[in-house]
Structure 1
Amino acid sequence: MSEQEFTFEALKLILLEGAGADEGVDLDGDVLDTGFEDLGYESLALLETGGRIEREYGISLPDDIFADHPTPRALVAAINALLQDAVTA
């Protein structure tokens, strides 16, 4: 398996394509440390986002990934750790 990196740009694309964005939210702004709920993404949108990440990156996400990593910065770091674990497994 080749080494992959999950970026904030990839997350933005998945969020926008899967769930759109609240009218008042600019994902191009400084939102790395803003909670997904504050960005307008609720559980159903995050479930869709998680499913797309799993399919596109070939990994399995823990059920509590968004609860444990409630901001884009934290989620990107967690997914990159999972991808790294998959490479070394």
Structure 2
Amino acid sequence: MSTPFTLDDLRRILREGSGDSPGLDGEFADIEFEDLGYESLALLETTGRIKREFGVTLDDDAVVAVTTPRALVDLVNEQLLEAPQPS
């Protein structure tokens, strides 16, 4: 299995791609992205960065369905588990 994608990874990617949000300083896992100030364009940028760094391509419909950082981390990790492993 690949290294798991963590909330800290997501926090870093959100900050690098879309700027800082005060909500990222504390426990943010279950706060909705909208309440954190991240709209759909920011999430598209985030999924692009996830693809480049972790090799995970996320389905647009699946991304739209996740509303919290925890749900996005879980989605990325599901994809990492399903990815073919090098032999």
TM-score of Structure 1 vs Structure 2, range by shorter chain: 0.7 to 0.9
Whole-Å Cα distance in 1 between the matches of residues 18 and 48 of structure 2?
12
Whole-Å Cα distance in 1 between the matches of residues 9 and 29 of structure 2?
13
> Under a length normalisation based on structure 1, what TM-score does the superposition of the two structures give?
0.86
Whole-Å Cα distance in 2 between the matches of residues 48 and 17 of structure 1?
10
The question of 1:76 aligning with 2:35 is answered no
Query: What do residues 53-84 of structure 1 show as CA deviations (whole Å, max 9, x unaligned)?
Result: 01111121101233221101111111101000
Match of 1:65 in 2: 62
Structure 2 unaligned regions, length at least 5: none
What secondary structure does 1:38 align onto? helix
Question: Would you tell me which structure has more helix in proportion to its own residues?
Answer: 2
AA partner of residue 62 (structure 1): D
> Under a length normalisation based on structure 2, what TM-score does the superposition of the two structures give?
0.88
Report how many residues are paired: 86
- Indicate which of 25, 39, 43 corresponds to 1:42: 39
RMSD over aligned CA atoms reads 1.7
28 and 87 in structure 1: CA distance in 2 versus 1, 3 angstrom threshold: farther
Whole-Å Cα distance in 2 between the matches of residues 58 and 30 of structure 1?
26
Structure 1 unaligned regions, length at least 5: none
AA partner of residue 12 (structure 2): L
